[in-house]
Amino acid sequence: MNKDYAPLFESYTLPNGEVIRNRIIMAPMTNYSSNPDGSVTDEEISYYSRRAEGVGAIITAVANITPGGKGFPGEIGVDRDELIPSLSKLASAIKSKGAKAILQIFHAGRLAPEDLLPNGDVVAPSNIPAERAGTINPRPRELTVEEIDDIIKAFGDATRRAMEAGFDGVEIHGANGYLIQQFFSPHANRREDTYGGSVEKRMTFPLKVIDEVQKTVKQYGDASFIVGYRFSPEEPETPGITMGQTLQLVDRLADKGLDYLHVSLMDFWSKARREADTTKTRIELLLKQINKRVPLIGVGSIYQADDAKAAMKTGVEFLALGRELVMDPEWAKKIQEGKEDTIVTTLDTTKKDELDVPEPLWNIITSVPGWFPGIAKN
């Protein structure tokens, strides 16, 4: 292996003492491939097992914590105990290859499609529809305080199921516009109670979810169970989450006893837009705010070994790869064997079976122009 890439393969000890064998993480990416009842399919198990061989950890596609929180067709379910055996198969497949298995848990909130929910009941912090171009955005129903309490508890229940299924950890999905982010967002959250208003009050729900998950870990497991949190740094809407507001949130998150933070970015090198130094990348600003209190996973259009080498030099502790590991499951192995020149960075649409990509995911990938390199933009 080229010594320049050695930092990618150094082990890392998380705050809870668990050791991740290297710095490469498979990023969570919706795969649309579970059974209608939320159980995991054989295709999914093959897909994750193949990619677990070279990475330090796999963070799965999102798993919905309640029937009313489902965000996609073919989504992993963690909303009831009868799914534990199915989840166990997935956890075992990932762990058998030496990678940590981390289940991402979420509630879609106002981004949940009506046709996937009981009685089409789309809920959110406030009855403000999402702003998404090209889609019909339903006006959600505002959650009651009692319902909010139930959802918080459901995050804890989902964590217990993940533990019973043998996962090494959970990632709380507070990014990409879903319910946890909606509570922090001044666009989605117009409440005037304890859950809304000031930046500090809009943090209440995310922080309570973390507390519930951590309480569950103490009750049913031990300190070896990993708890991470993913967030999106800014929103395009006005009003919307700004970089300045996210830095305030991250300052609180860094003191919550989490095992890692995970920023959601399409471009690792993207710069801040609002309420921060716009000459600096978001990664730079986050690392300065965190100040080594908790490890950070960076992500965003990292394809070549040199991309990863440059990203690691910023000081991030981990790098997550999503699309690249779909296109080349042997990405890490190739670097370790000194074959980084053979890394595949565009999708070969003739190699679905060779790449062990589930049919539903493949169909989405090949039908969305510009999402993957090799799929031409319109």
Active-site residues, by number, are: 178
Residue 27: DSSP 8-state: P
The token duo for 168 is: 């090494």
Burial class of residue 90 (count of CB atoms within 10 Å of its CB; 0-12, 13-18, 19+): buried
Query: Which of these, 128, 104, 134, 156, lies nearest to 264 by C-alpha position?
Result: 104
Q: Are 272 and 278 in contact (CB under 8 A)?
A: yes
Q: List residues bridging with 263 in a β-sheet.
A: 231
User: Distance (Å, rounded) from C-alpha 265 to C-alpha 104?
Assistant: 17
- What is 32-100 written as a DSSP string? --S-TTSPPPHHHHHHHHHHHTTSSEEEEEEEESSGGG--STT-EE-SSGGGHHHHHHHHHHHHTTT-E
Q: Are 209 and 155 in contact (CB under 8 A)?
A: yes
User: Distance (Å, rounded) from C-alpha 23 to C-alpha 304?
Assistant: 15
Q: Note the helical H segments in the chain.
A: 42-52, 84-95, 145-164, 179-184, 199-202, 204-220, 243-253, 282-290, 305-312, 323-327, 331-336, 359-365
Query: Which of these, 128, 146, 115, lies nearest to 182 by C-alpha position?
Result: 128
User: Distance (Å, rounded) from C-alpha 141 to C-alpha 151?
Assistant: 15
